[in-house]
Amino acid sequence: MADGGWIKLYRKTRQSFVWTDPNLLKLWLLLLIKASHSDSKFLFNGQEISVTSGQLVTGAHVLASEMNEGVPRDKAVTWRSVWRWVKKFENAEMLTIKSTSQYSVITITNFNNYQSSDKRVTSDCQSTDNQVTTYKNLKNEKNEKNINHSSASAEPHVDFDKLFEYLNEKSGKHFKNTATNRKLVHERLREGFTPKDLQTAIDNVTAGWLGTEMEQYIRPSTIFRASKFEGYVNSVPRVAKPQQSGGRPRRQEATPEWMAKDYKAPKQEATDAEKAELAAQLAELDKLRQEHDA
Report the predicted TM-score, pTM, of the whole model to 2 decimal places: 0.42
203 CB-contact burial (10 Å; exposed 0-12 / middle 13-18 / buried 19+): middle
CA dihedral 164, 165, 170, 172 (to 10 degrees): 100
pLDDT at res. 140 = 43
What is the C-alpha separation between 18 and 34, in angstroms, rounded? Answer: 18
Mean pLDDT is lowest, of 20-24, 128-132, 252-256, for: 128-132
- Sorting pLDDT into bands at 50, 70 and 90, what band is 148? very low
What is the per-residue pLDDT across 242-258, written as a single tens digit (0 to 9) for each? 655 555 555 555 556 66
- Which of residues 1 and 67 earns the better pLDDT score? 67
- The number of beta carbons lying within 10 Å of the beta carbon of residue 219 is 15
What is the C-alpha separation between 53 and 34, in angstroms, rounded? Answer: 11
3-state helix, strand, coil in the chain (%, to 5): 50, 10, 40
Phi, psi of 258 (to 5 degrees): -70, -10
Residue 120 pLDDT exceeds 50: no
pLDDT at res. 129 = 39
- Which of residues 265 and 75 earns the better pLDDT score? 75
Looking at mean pLDDT, say which of 43-52, 162-171, 185-194, 238-247 comes out highest.
Answer: 162-171
Q: What is the DSSP letter of 244?
A: S
Find out whether 30 and 24 touch, Cβ atoms under 8 Å.
no
Tell me which residue of 22, 30, 32 sits closest to 55, measured CA to CA: 32
Mean pLDDT is lowest, of 34-38, 141-145, 177-181, 203-207, for: 141-145
Report the share of the chain in percent with pLDDT over 70: 71
pLDDT at res. 204 = 92
